Amino acid sequence: MAGGERETLLALQRALSEEQFQSLKYLLEERLPRGELGPATRPDLCRLLLQRFPGRALHVLADLLRQIHRHDLLRLYHLPGAEEEEEEETPGETGAAGGSSAPPGHGRGDAGRGSVPPPAAPAPRRLTEKDLLRVAQKLGKEWQEVGIGCLGLERSRLDQIRADNAGNAVMQSFEMLLEWQRREKEGATAPRLRACLAPASLAPELLDLLRSLQGE
């Protein structure tokens, strides 16, 4: 394995797209506190893995990479279990009697067969206005605290939203989420929103909703 454990962990996470990194944190929520995972940067997550899984951080990360279909990184960094995956991907490449069993059309230009990584997992889709309305219906009356503390929105903008939608907490929450969506653009996905809301004490129904929106 190239480099030390710490360097390898950081290199692996830097090889992930932002959506894949957020998916990684989402999958870790059953093993690590959400309050630590939500704001964690890539170096922060490396430290968490090393602290919480001493001697097994790379094993844990390898398992997560399989779940997000980044098998190419397992092979590239020779992570635990990479050898077994290579064996599973190459059965039948040579016949029992030593003859070639390459499929038709695989000629001399196919020397690199087996090294091409599988397609990455599809990126989570951008949340729609309908999705955001469903989230707003479960967010509750503490939406302004969420907007300031979790979504990083300006207090003046939230005061304007409250005044424009006086007496309607759902529409106030909805307009706040629209403001966040406009700022995040294509990054306004369910995993991203869950990561932003992680420090807040959210109702279990809201967390279940965000999980379902990610899986759709």
What are the sequence ranges of the domains in the chain?
A: 5-89, 129-215
Tell me what pLDDT residue 120 has.
56
d(CA 182, CA 192): 14
Q: How many CB atoms lie within 10 A of CB 207?
A: 16
Tell me what pLDDT residue 98 has.
45
Tell me what pLDDT residue 21 has.
86
Tell me what pLDDT residue 203 has.
78
Tell me what pLDDT residue 53 has.
86
Cα angle: 128, vertex 186, 159; to 5 degrees: 65
d(CA 173, CA 144): 8
Tell me what pLDDT residue 160 has.
92
- Same fold flag, 5-89 and 129-215: yes
The answer to whether 191 and 214 have CB atoms below 8 angstroms apart is yes
Tell me what pLDDT residue 188 has.
85
Render each residue's pLDDT in the chain as its tens digit; 216 residues. 434 888 888 888 888 888 888 888 888 888 888 888 888 888 888 888 888 888 888 888 888 888 888 888 888 888 877 666 555 554 544 444 444 444 444 444 444 455 555 555 566 788 889 989 989 888 877 788 888 888 888 889 999 999 998 889 899 989 999 999 998 888 888 888 888 887 777 778 887 888 888 765
Tell me what pLDDT residue 147 has.
87
What is the dotted CATH code of the domain comprising 129-215? Answer: 1.10.533.10
What is the dotted CATH code of the domain comprising 5-89? Answer: 1.10.533.10
Bridge partners of residue 94, in order along the sequence = 100
Paired tokens of 159? 């005061």
With 0.75 as the threshold, say if the pTM is over it: no
